[in-house]
Amino acid sequence: MTTPATSSGTGTLVLAATPIGRVEDAAPRLATELAGADIVAAEDTRRLRRLASDLGIEIPGRVVSYFEGNEHLRTESLLESLLAGDRVVLVTDAGMPSVSDPGYRLVAAAIEHDVPVTSVPGPSAVLTALAVSGLPVDRFCFEGFLPRKAGERTRRLAAVADDERTLVFFESPHRTHATLQAMAEVFGAERRGAVCRELTKTYEEVRRGSLADLVEWAQPGVRGEVTIVIEGAAPVEAVTDPATLAAQVARDEADGVPRKQAIVDVARRSGVPKRVVYDAVHRT
């Protein structure tokens, strides 16, 4: 049974999580929503048809594609349907729509036009990987896919190198080894991590260890869908002695780092505000 349109005449946008591996993991409501939707927007319509077959249902509503390449254009037409009273169910290939997948634009547009947005909770590679990683999960940061270019990837990693929260990344199998190498260089080879491969599927594998161990393991190549979980940085013990701070800035400057950047870097490494380092440098 579908949920009726709201009294204002608008429909409802439903973000429906799909299995990341086993179809048995699908929430019972997923089949109900797919069977009762006016429109189903799918990242891959062929995968949607296979999923519907596995769930033993027919999709009587209109099925349209909604993927990265057409997301911008398709959002407008789907919003029109929502404003006309349709119930639109959005699904991606696996997991929750809008989490590193298409969906954010449509959600933002619906909210802007006071269209109700709800969800069918379900499988999530991010939460599953965190749960089985063996690393702290009380605080975490999801970074999605890293940039493909080496320089941009290194800069992104450097930006989170001192984050004390557990970090979660998605990665393609053919880039996993290079990414782990970059992480070892930026985070340190002894930082702990877990590579979660083919979660919930037949050949599920979770490899845990230091980044040095994981780099060695991944060297021959990795197959399947990959989620990487990295432990957060150790808490920084604040350095407040002005002479020590000034000396660290001087060393960075001697290595060719501009003073302004050196002050920023030393403040980050020392766990103190930039002004404290600035005052230390200009006091000596």
Q: Write out pLDDT tens, residues 10-31.
A: 899 999 999 999 999 999 999 9
Q: What is the per-residue pLDDT for 3?
A: 43
Residues of the chain with pLDDT under 50: 1-7
Q: What is the per-residue pLDDT for 233?
A: 92
Q: What is the pTM of this model?
A: 0.80
Other C-beta atoms within 10 Å of 222: how many?
21
Can you list the alpha helix ranges (DSSP code H) found in 56-103?
71-83
Burial of 7 (0-12, 13-18, 19+ CB in 10 A): exposed
Q: Which pair of structure tokens corresponds to residue 185?
A: 């260089």
Q: What is the per-residue pLDDT for 272?
A: 84
Interstrand relation of 192-197 and 226-230 (parallel, antiparallel or unpaired)? antiparallel
Within 8 A by CB and 6+ apart from 146, the residues are: 153, 156, 157, 169, 171, 179
